[in-house]
Chains A and B, each alone.
Chain A
Amino acid sequence: MSEPQGATSLADQRPPQGTQKAGDGARRAPSPAGPRPGRRKADWRKRLEITVLSGPAIVVFVGFVIFPVILAGYYGFFRWKGYGPATDFVGLGNYLIIFTDSAFHEVLAHNGIILVLSLVIQGPIAIILALLLNQKIRGRSVIRVLIFVPYIISEVIVGIGWGLMLQTSGAVNDLLQSVGLGALRADWLSDPNIAIWSLMIIISWKYIGFAVILFLAGLQSIPDELFEAAAIDGASYWQIQRSITLPLLGPTLRIWAFLSIIGSLQLFDLVFIIWGQYVASTAGTSTMATYMVANGRTSGNFGYGSAVAVVMFLISLVIALTYQRFVLRRDTAGALTERRK
Chain B
Amino acid sequence: MSVMTTETTPLDMTPREARRTRGREPWGSPATYFIAFLFIALCLGPVLYIVIGGFRDNSQITSSPAGFPTPWRFDNYLDVLTSSIFWQQIGNSTIVGVTTTIGVVVLGVMVSFVLARYHFHGRAAMYSLFAAGLMFPMTVAITPLYILVKDLGLMNSLAGVILPQIGFGLPVTVIILVPFLKAIPDEIEEAASIDGASRLGFFFRMVVPLSLPGVVTTGILAFVASWNSYLLPLFILSDQTMYTLPLGVQAFASQYSVDTAKVLAFTSLSMIPALIFFTLFERRIVGGLTGAVKG
User: Is this pair of chains taken from one and the same complex?
Assistant: yes
Q: Which residues of chain A come closer than 8 Å to B194, judged between CB atoms?
A: 30
For window 116-134 of B, CB contacts with A under 8 Å fall at: 118-133
Contacts A57-B107, A302-B147 hold; do A14 and B121 have CB atoms under 8 A apart? yes
Per-residue interface assignment for chain B, residues 29 to 70, with 1 indicating a CB less than 8 Å from any chain A CB and 0 otherwise: 000110110011011101101100100000000101111000
Q: Which residues of chain B come closer than 8 Å to A64, judged between CB atoms?
A: 145, 148, 163-164, 166-168
Q: List 27 A-B contacts (CB under 8 A).
A: A11-B114, A11-B123, A15-B120, A18-B119, A54-B114, A56-B107, A60-B166, A61-B130, A61-B167, A63-B167, A64-B148, A65-B141, A136-B26, A147-B40, A150-B46, A154-B227, A160-B249, A160-B250, A164-B263, A172-B66, A174-B67, A218-B290, A296-B143, A297-B235, A309-B142, A337-B128, A339-B124
A227 within 8 A of B: no
The stretch from A114-122, A137-145, A191-199 touching chain B is A137-145
B20 within 8 A of A: no
B224 within 8 A of A: yes
Per-residue interface assignment for chain A, residues 141 to 169, with 1 indicating a CB less than 8 Å from any chain B CB and 0 otherwise: 10111111110111111111110110101
Are B110 and A53 neighbours in the complex by a CB distance under 8 Å?
A: yes
The stretch from B76-84, B208-216, B266-274 touching chain A is B266-274
Q: Which residues of chain B come closer than 8 Å to A175, judged between CB atoms?
A: 66
Q: What is the predominant secondary structure among interface residues of chain B facing chain A?
A: helix
- Please name the residue on chain A nearest to B3 by beta carbon: A221
B279 within 8 A of A: yes
Name 14 extra pairs, CB < 8 A, besides A60-B103, A65-B136, A154-B245. A18-B121, A53-B113, A64-B167, A65-B164, A69-B144, A75-B144, A132-B35, A149-B43, A155-B230, A156-B246, A174-B64, A302-B147, A316-B140, A338-B128
Once bound together, how far apart are the Cα atoms of A181 and B9, in whole Å? 51
Are B135 and A320 neighbours in the complex by a CB distance under 8 Å?
A: yes
Contacts A64-B168, A313-B136 hold; do A19 and B120 have CB atoms under 8 A apart? yes
Q: Which residues of chain A come closer than 8 Å to B205, judged between CB atoms?
A: none
Contacts A205-B46, A316-B140, A337-B128 hold; do A54 and B111 have CB atoms under 8 A apart? yes
Once bound together, how far apart are the Cα atoms of A138 and B27, in whole Å? 5
B260 within 8 A of A: yes
Q: Which residues of chain A come closer than 8 Å to B170, judged between CB atoms?
A: 57, 60-61, 65
Q: How far is the CB of A150 from chain B (nearest CB, A)?
A: 5
Q: Which residues of chain B come closer than 8 Å to A297, judged between CB atoms?
A: 143, 146, 235
- Please name the residue on chain A nearest to B124 by beta carbon: A339
Question: Which of A133, A146, A162 has the most C-beta atoms of chain B within 10 angstroms of its own C-beta?
Answer: A146
Q: How far is the CB of A32 from chain B (nearest CB, A)?
A: 16
Are A7 and B129 neighbours in the complex by a CB distance under 8 Å?
A: yes
Are A138 and B28 neighbours in the complex by a CB distance under 8 Å?
A: yes
Once bound together, how far apart are the Cα atoms of A97 and B245, in whole Å? 37
Q: Which residues of chain B come closer than 8 Å to A72, judged between CB atoms?
A: 140-141, 143-144
Once bound together, how far apart are the Cα atoms of A308 and B144, in whole Å? 11
Determine which of B39, B148, B264 lies in contact with A67 in the assembled complex, contact meaning CB atoms within 8 Å.
B148
Contacts A50-B114, A57-B170 hold; do A68 and B148 have CB atoms under 8 A apart? yes
